[in-house]
Amino acid sequence: MTTTSSTLPLPVSFSLDPRLQRPLIILLALAAPLLALAFGKSWVRVLDFALLYVLLAIGLNLVVGFAGLLDLGYIAFYAVGAYTWAFLASPHFGIHLPFWIVLPLGAAFAGLAGIALGFPTLRLRGDYLAIVTLGFGEIIRIFMNNLNQPINITNGPQGIDQIDPLTIAGIDLSRDLDLFGVQVPSLLLYYYAFFGCVVFALILVRRLQISRIGRAWAAIRDDELAAKAIGIDTRMMKLLAFALGATFGGVSGGLFAAFQGFVSPESFSLMESIVVLTMVVLGGMGNLAGVVVGAIMLTALPELLRHFAVPMQMALFGKTLLDPEVLRMLLLSLAMIVMMLVRPAGLLPARTRYAHREGRNA
Amino acid sequence: METFLQQMLNGLVSGSIYALVALGYTMVYGILGLINFAHGELLMIGALVALQTISLLSSAVPGLHPAVLLLAGVATAVPVCMAVGYLIERIGYRRLRNAPRLAPLITAIGVSFLLQTLAMIIWGREFHVFPQLIDTAPMQPMAGVVVSPLQIFTIVVAFTLMGALMLLVNKTRLGRAMRATAENHRVAGLMGINANGVIAATFIIGSGLAALAGVLFASNYAIAHYAMGFTPGLKAFTAAVLGGIGNLPGAMVGGLVLGLVESFGAGYIEHLSFGFLNSSYQDIFAFMILGAVLIFRPSGLLGERVADRA
């Protein structure tokens, strides 16, 4: 396995002036929901979700891609963030705190959960972390499902509804905004709010990646023993990656709760963890652009399957043999296997300035 | 006291099934150092294939003896699972044997979900009733304790299989080759052992055990469906870690201990938590044990220290 990416040609070669690339992408991202609006509001909704998934994938990439730790219960941190928001900003307990209190609290709780989970497991081999996080995801779900008695905390499988929307500077994002006579739909408002979060996250994570911490993570990922030998506090660094990744999950969870207005244990199944993991793996572990592309591709996938795969099957066989949900699971699992076997570095492999060596069973 | 004995019996039944599955995890781990996440799905495939055979056969030839049906179910489930196990190793893992640690783990997750999805396509999403081929009429050997022939059968079969596996590993040529490969597969290769063959054999044996465990599991719970492998798989892994992963007797002990803890836990959790938690929390015991073992004794009850191998 040679993943020294300098030898791999990038799958997409831009002939564009590289200085124009970034402004163009930003412009495209800003215009995307307006274009989507032309096809119907449901597509804007898909875009909103895509951004939430991008945020999640950026967080998981921090853990899996940068530090090389496999987290299979990532969605549990998303759940922690979402339920924090639901508890502190809904009629369920009658508490209505503003977002600038709830969101950091959700992030902090998720981060703490990450530390609590990482502390015992991170000194062990990565495999254990994978299983323990998997188990943690299930525990959180069991608690969400059952903590409606004897004291009703989570409202059980019914979930919590009527959650307060995101309100920034007095603007309620769940209502269409009347901007100088132009009606701006709520979905667009959410899009730009999420977009702001994603940009902020991208800048933050990018700065982290090229910092001392990011290099320490890369060193641990590539050869933990060597990293230890050159004086990196590997356990602390892994814990940091894990907690930071969890924090991202918590923030996206809070945003999800506000956007949906409703949370239930169903949204936080293991399948969701796997979906986010596939986004990271598909796009290219450790590469931010790849992760963003992976997240957008996989969020759009079920919609595309609904619109194209079903009519195609109808035309070919006269009935729907595989419904879109099954087809999606099939494609996701195949994507994971095939990517690892054929192109383990992802569609857009990470470009590292530091020559790193892989292929040895450390 | 009656509750105590009853819970102990229930624990032994589920524990012996966990132990069978845990053996598969621990054998593969011992040789490859890989956690085969897809192992739990083999239990599911075993149960569903057996169910398919049984229902086909009983509708084709009505009035067959239940034992014949069960044997036919097992006789198809075991080879099918062995073939699936072999294919997983051959296609999924063999090429990644020298890849960075993350790659085979991710492949394993993918394989696990692929198998679940395929099972969902073949057998649908619904729960299937698994026929009670072995008498489940409760008997009362003593006041307050209920045991069925099925439960006794489960325990006996599981222990027989474990004994047979121990004999295979400790007394036969193949077993010696497996132990040598686990020690160091390059050196084993130099000694004239076909390491690839041995690894394939390990997967095949583990898959066969998982198939039998699947039939036992489905018989005991009278149910089979496409996602049934996940939870027992996770618990069996916990059992393997509890006993010391890579260690065969450890997996058996771990499985039984886990089964007992779970059963006692479910029986007494209401008292222990002052009525706050009820038996729907049964599943969290396995994970709590897993966490506790990893914190306090990562090498497991019977294991050597393998955990810090980075």
Interface touch B294/A132, C-beta < 8 Å: yes
Interface confidence, given as ipTM, is: 0.82
Residue of A127, A138, A335 lying closest to B283 (CB–CB):
A138
Residue of A142, A274, A329 lying closest to B283 (CB–CB):
A142
> Domains in chain B, ordered, with CATH?
2-133+142-296 (1.10.3470)
Q: How many helices (H) and strands (E) does chain B have?
A: 11, 4
Quickly state the pLDDT bin for A359 (edges 50, 70, 90): very low
Place of tokens 């244990």: A265
Distance from CA of B231 to the nearest CA of A (A): 9
Average pLDDT along chain A:
81
Domain ranges of chain A: 19-296
Average pLDDT along chain B:
86
Residue of A126, A135, A336 lying closest to B107 (CB–CB):
A336
The whole-number average pLDDT for the span A112-137 is 82
Which pLDDT belongs to residue A360? 39
Q: How many whole angstroms separate alpha carbon B161 and alpha carbon A202?
A: 54
Angle, nearest 10°, between helix axes A270-283 and B102-123?
130
Among B31, B117, B125, most A C-beta atoms within 10 A, so best to mutate, is B117
Residue of A1, A336, A358 lying closest to B109 (CB–CB):
A336
Is the peptide bond preceding residue A150 cis, with omega within 30 degrees of 0?
yes
* A156's tokens: 């059980």
The residues near B261 (Cβ < 8 Å, ≥ 6 apart) are: B11, B285, B289
Interface touch B100/A362, C-beta < 8 Å: yes
Interface touch A326/B284, C-beta < 8 Å: no
In b/e form, how buried is each residue of A212-248, taking b as 16+ CB within 10 angstroms?
A: ebbbbbbbbbbbbeebeeeebebeebbbbbbbbbbbb
Tens digit of pLDDT for each residue in A280-315? 888 878 888 888 888 988 888 888 887 787 777 777
Q: Are A114 and A242 in contact (CB under 8 A)?
A: yes
The whole-number average pLDDT for the span A65-77 is 88
Distance from CA of B121 to the nearest CA of A (A): 8
- Which residues of chain A neighbour B308 with C-beta distances below 8 Å? 123-125
- Which residues of chain A neighbour B284 with C-beta distances below 8 Å? 139, 142-143
Q: Are A337 and A274 in contact (CB under 8 A)?
A: no
Paired sense of beta strands A171-172 and A177-179, if any:
unpaired
HSE-CB for A354 with a 13 A CA cutoff = 15
Distance from CA of A341 to the nearest CA of B (A): 7
Residue whose C-alpha is closest to residue B158's, from B23, B44, B261 = B23
| Dihedral of the alpha carbons of B217, B218, B222, B227, in degrees to the nearest 10 | 110
Q: How many whole angstroms separate alpha carbon B18 and alpha carbon B236?
A: 5
Q: Are B82 and B110 in contact (CB under 8 A)?
A: no
Quickly state the pLDDT bin for A353 (edges 50, 70, 90): very low
Which pLDDT belongs to residue B1? 66
* B180's tokens: 């040598």
Q: Is residue B306 pLDDT above 60, yes or no?
A: no
Q: Is residue B6 pLDDT above 90, yes or no?
A: no
Tens digit of pLDDT for each residue in B263-272? 888 777 767 6
Which pLDDT belongs to residue A11? 52
Residue whose C-alpha is closest to residue B21's, from B1, B43, B5, B6 = B43
Tens digit of pLDDT for each residue in A153-208? 787 788 888 888 777 777 777 777 777 767 777 788 888 889 999 999 999 998 99
The residues near B209 (Cβ < 8 Å, ≥ 6 apart) are: B20, B21, B23, B24, B161, B165
Tens digit of pLDDT for each residue in B170-225? 899 999 999 888 888 888 889 888 888 999 999 999 999 999 999 999 998 888 98
Quickly state the pLDDT bin for A134 (edges 50, 70, 90): confident
Interface touch B110/A337, C-beta < 8 Å: yes
Interface touch A146/B281, C-beta < 8 Å: yes
B128 three-class SS: strand
Which pLDDT belongs to residue B309? 37
Distance from CA of B130 to the nearest CA of A (A): 24
Which pLDDT belongs to residue B86? 94
Interface touch B276/A150, C-beta < 8 Å: yes
Single pTM value for the model: 0.84
The residues near A360 (Cβ < 8 Å, ≥ 6 apart) are: A223, B98
Distance from CA of B120 to the nearest CA of A (A): 8
Interface touch B104/A225, C-beta < 8 Å: no
In chain A the first and final C-alpha atoms are separated, in Å, by 14
Which pLDDT belongs to residue B73? 92
Residue whose C-alpha is closest to residue A249's, from A119, A54, A98 = A54
Q: Is the domain covering A19-296 a CATH 1.10.3470 domain?
A: yes
Q: Are B209 and B236 in contact (CB under 8 A)?
A: no
Tens digit of pLDDT for each residue in B108-162? 889 999 999 999 999 988 899 888 888 777 777 777 778 888 888 999 999 999 9
Phi-psi region of A169 (alpha: psi -120 to 50; beta: other; left: phi over 0): left
Which pLDDT belongs to residue A3? 44
Among B113, B258, B273, B296, most A C-beta atoms within 10 A, so best to mutate, is B113
- Which residues of chain A neighbour B238 with C-beta distances below 8 Å? 131, 135
Query: What ranges make up the beta strands (E) of chain B?
Result: 128-129, 139-142, 145-147, 223-224
Tens digit of pLDDT for each residue in A207-231? 998 899 999 998 988 888 899 899 9
